[in-house]
Amino acid sequence: MSDPVNDYALDLIWRNGRTYNGWLDKPVPETLIRAVYDLTKMGPTSANCCPSRFVFINSPEAKKRLSPHLSEGNREKTMNAPWVCIVATDMMFHEKIPQLFPHNPGAKDWFKDKDKRRETADRNGTLQGAYLIMAARALGLDCGPMSGFSQDGVDMEFFSNKEETKHWRSNFLVAIGHGDDSTIFDRSPRLSFDEACQIL
Distance CA 89, CA 171 (A): 7
Query: For position 2, what pLDDT does the model report?
Result: 84
Question: What is the per-residue pLDDT across 115-169, written as a single tens digit (0 to 9) for each?
Answer: 999 999 999 999 999 999 999 999 999 999 999 999 999 999 999 989 999 999 9
Question: What is the per-residue pLDDT across 64-82, written as a single tens digit (0 to 9) for each?
Answer: 999 999 999 999 999 999 9
Question: What is the per-residue pLDDT across 7-53, written as a single tens digit (0 to 9) for each?
Answer: 999 999 999 999 999 999 999 999 999 999 999 999 999 999 999 99
| Residue ranges covered by each domain of the chain | 18-181
Architecture of domain 18-181: 3-Layer(aba) Sandwich (3.40)
pTM of the model: 0.95
Distance CA 156, CA 115 (A): 22
Distance CA 28, CA 176 (A): 9
- C-alpha to C-alpha distances, 152 to 66, 75, 105, nearest whole angstrom: 12, 17, 33
